[in-house]
Amino acid sequence: MDGRLRFGLSTPSGVFGLDEVAAVGAAVGRPVDVVLWYEDFAAAAPTAAVATVAAAGAAPVITWEPWLWRTDVTGTGAAMMSGIAAGEYDGHLRAWAGALSATATPVWLRFAHEFNGDWYPWSPVHGTTPQTYVAAWRHAHDLFASAGATSVRWVWSLDAATHGDIPLAAWYPGDAYVDVIGIDGYNWGTTHPWSRWTPPVEIFEPAATEVRALTHRPMMIAEVGCAEAGGSKADWITDFVRWVAAQPDVDAVVWFEHDKETDWRIASSPAATAAMAAALREAAA
């Protein structure tokens, strides 16, 4: 993902509702360049979805989560990451590698994201050590490489707000195994007793600085959203896009266009939509 700043979305219907993507693109006055969605680890490789996104003129970013949230049998991330590292899922990994390679479409694979938080099973709180995480990542990457999946780009994606006891360097698989760094960050505003209105620079600059000390790989903001409560969302969007546009090594933004924990959407208000449209025009000028 090089060149101009790319504007991306994750929407509730994902690749099954690209009308949602198109509607937001129309509202902000520009096409959507990146579509991100989420896949259960046990799912088949989403080749039809990749083709659909590519046909719409966007880059597909698959967030591949190493747990089983679409089945009746749940799997713990720690056990699954250990199993990946030990080769227990090699057949499944090879099937994904072969299928994605056969699409002949560049695909960004965002595997086991936000490892430095405490909400996913592949985190220290749930038993996954950095050593296991790195071993699983490298094993999966090497298997894809041996299968000739050269069209797959690997996205290592961290949570911007988490500052745990384990440094990012312990989790990093290495430049030979990572193509793009993703940073996820949200302004929760005053939606919770523990949260406050937080400027974009305060959320993203420390994480970007830590990443730059670790690697020179290009970065993308892989998830971002802003609440309405606690401040001006329109101003926050303006400041955020200006911050991103000033970063020469950040070339893509994926907005989390969901009304979930709160209304993160650009479309949460006419003012927020107008601010994003103006900010993207400014960034493109």
* Distance separating alpha carbons of residues 270 and 63, to the nearest angstrom: 29
Q: Encoding tokens for residue 275?
A: 């601010």
* Distance separating alpha carbons of residues 279 and 237, to the nearest angstrom: 8
Q: Residue 227, SS3? A: coil
Task: Decide if 258 contacts 11 (C-beta within 8 A).
Answer: yes
Amino acid present at 274: A
Positive or negative torsion for Cα 189, 195, 200, 204:
negative
Map tokens 């090879």 to a residue.
Answer: 94
* Distance separating alpha carbons of residues 230 and 245, to the nearest angstrom: 25
Amino acid present at 255: W
In this predicted structure, what is the pLDDT of residue 2? 42
Amino acid present at 199: P
* Distance separating alpha carbons of residues 84 and 64, to the nearest angstrom: 13
The one-digit pLDDT tens for each residue of the chain (285 residues) are: 445 899 999 999 988 889 999 999 999 999 999 999 999 999 999 999 999 999 999 999 999 999 886 654 555 556 789 999 999 999 999 999 999 999 999 999 999 999 999 999 899 988 899 999 999 999 999 999 999 999 999 999 999 987 778 899 999 999 999 999 999 999 999 999 999 999 999 999 999 999 999 999 999 999 999 999 999 999 999 999 999 999 999 999 999 999 999 999 999 999 999 999 999 999 998
* Distance separating alpha carbons of residues 272 and 23, to the nearest angstrom: 15
In this predicted structure, what is the pLDDT of residue 1? 43
pTM over 0.85: yes
In this predicted structure, what is the pLDDT of residue 76? 54
In this predicted structure, what is the pLDDT of residue 17? 86
* Distance separating alpha carbons of residues 266 and 260, to the nearest angstrom: 13
- Burial class from Cβ neighbours inside 10 Å (0-12, 13-18, 19+) for residue 258 reads middle
CA dist 23 → 9, 10, 31, 68 (Å): 11, 13, 10, 31
Q: Which helix (H) or strand (E) holds 92?
A: helix 90-102
> What domains appear along the chain, each with residue ranges and CATH number?
6-284 (3.20.20.80)
Q: Encoding tokens for residue 53?
A: 């996104």
In this predicted structure, what is the pLDDT of residue 263? 97
In this predicted structure, what is the pLDDT of residue 134? 98
Map tokens 């993308």 to a residue.
Answer: 220
